[in-house]
Structure formats: structure tokens, C-alpha cells
Amino acid sequence: MDTNDSTETNDTNQRDHQWETAGELADELTPQSTGRWLITTKGTLHLWDLDQMTYVRMPSAASKSGSMGHDQRPVPLTRVVWWPKVGERPYFWYDDPDYPMFWEHWRISSEVQKIERLADTHATTDPEDPS
């Protein structure tokens, strides 16, 4: 297993958290995919937990879109129109975590640069608890 920590950077994204990856890279996720995945886009990390069907957005200072509502919080994925694929932009819908019965939001992320499977050591996608 690989460990990614705050010393790892690339041209557009700096890792603020420590995540244990399983050493598996994927070109894309599909409706049949399972597990937890760390997706790198320009300036932002995204955690997709396909077993729990939740999503967490974690922008860095390099994020061109900056912070958005519900960042750093797991939100329930309700549907995925375009699944994450390296070189393309995912498009998906999620429930508002505060008012799930009343609001659904959509998001199109920037182009995916990398998709890495996370090691099966976490019970949730809580970005505050990377252990």
C-alpha cells in the first residue's frame, strides 16, 4: 500500500491530508465500481465512497473555483450522469446534507487527472478522520 501525504504535490494540486492508497489506479469509475476512491482534479481532491454512495470535495489553495457549499462534508450521491474518467469531467447530483428532502444539487468537476483506490481502512469518507 502507498501512503500519500502533505509532501506530495503535482502542478495543480497539493495534498493536505494523509490517505492510504491501495496502489491501484483506474482510468475510470463505472456504475459497477465499488470501494473508496481518491480523485485528483485541478486544485481539488474528491473522495468517492461507492459503497456508501457519498462524495467529499476538498479544494486546495490552487483550486480555481475556490471553496463551495458543502466542501469537506460527505454528501449523499443521488445520481451520476458522467462517471469520473481520466481526462474528462464528472457530472453528478447529490442531496443537500442539511435539507435532503427539499434540495438536490449538481456539480461538474474539472478534468480528472488521477483516480486512486483508497485502502480499505476507513469506515467513512470523513475528511477530518484520515486514519
Higher pLDDT, 98 or 32: 32
Amino acid (one-letter) located at 8:
E
Give 26-85 pLDDT, tens digit per residue.
999 999 999 999 999 988 899 999 999 999 988 776 666 656 666 678 889 999 999 999
pLDDT exceeds cutoff 70 at 99: yes
User: CA-CA distances (angstroms) from residue 71 to 33, 67, 107?
Assistant: 24, 7, 12
